[in-house]
Amino acid sequence: MKKEIKIVFSISFIFYLLVLVFILFLGFRGYRYDLPFLEYMKNSSNFVPFKTINTYFQAILDRSINLNIPIKNLFGNFILFLPMGIYLPFFIKKTNKVMVFSISMIVLLFIIEVMQLVTRKGSFDVDDFILNMPGALIGFGIWRTKFVQNLLK
C-alpha cells in the first residue's frame, strides 16, 4: 500500500508543479517588455506589507473593479501553496519540522518572486508571501494530522 501511495503522490506532485509553473510563469499577464529593466523592477515591486491586500479589500468593499479580480488574487495566492505544505514534507523528510518547513517555504517563495520579476512574468510582491505562507502552513498542518500520518502507515 505504501508504494501505491508514493506513486499517487509523485504523479499528483508532478501535475501540481506543472499547474504551478503555468500559473506563475506561463500564463499571460500583460506585463510590459518595452520598459528598461530597472524601471520595470521599480513599477513591478511592492515591499510594503498589506499594500496590495488592502487595495483588493477596498476594491471589494467599494466595488470599484470586477470582484473576480481581487477574489482570484487573494484566495488564489492563499490556496496556491497549500498543497506544498503536504508535498514538501512527504518528499523531503527534513522539512517535517515546522521551523525547517517555514524556512524552506520562505526561501522557495523568495526565489519564485525574484524569478517572476526577472523573467517579467509577474511582480515581486511581499503580499504574495503574506498570502502564500498561511496556505502552505495550513497544508503542513494537514500533513501533520494523525489521520494523514495513519493513512501513510
**Cβ neighbourhood burial of 113 (10 Å; 0-12, 13-18, 19+):** buried
pLDDT greater at residue 30 or residue 92: 92
* pLDDT reported for residue 29: 63
Q: Which three-class secondary structure state does DSSP give residue 86?
A: helix
DSSP 3-state assignment of 67? Answer: coil
> How far is the CA of 95 from the CAs of 13, 71, 86, in angstroms?
16, 31, 10
Statement: residue 152 has pLDDT above 80: no
Query: Taking the model in full, what pTM does it have?
Result: 0.87
Cell of 146: 494523525
Query: How many C-beta atoms lie closer than 10 Å to residue 108's C-beta?
Result: 15
What confidence tens digit (pLDDT) does each residue in 95-141 have? 999 999 999 999 999 999 999 988 888 889 999 999 999 999 999 99
What pLDDT does 30 receive?
55
Residue written as grid cell 505504501: 2
Instruction: Supply the pLDDT for residue 37.
Output: 85
What would the pLDDT profile of 31-76 be if each residue is shown by its tens digit? 667 788 888 888 889 999 999 999 999 998 998 888 888 888 999 9
Direct distance between the N- and C-terminal alpha carbons of the chain, in angstroms, rounded to an integer: 9
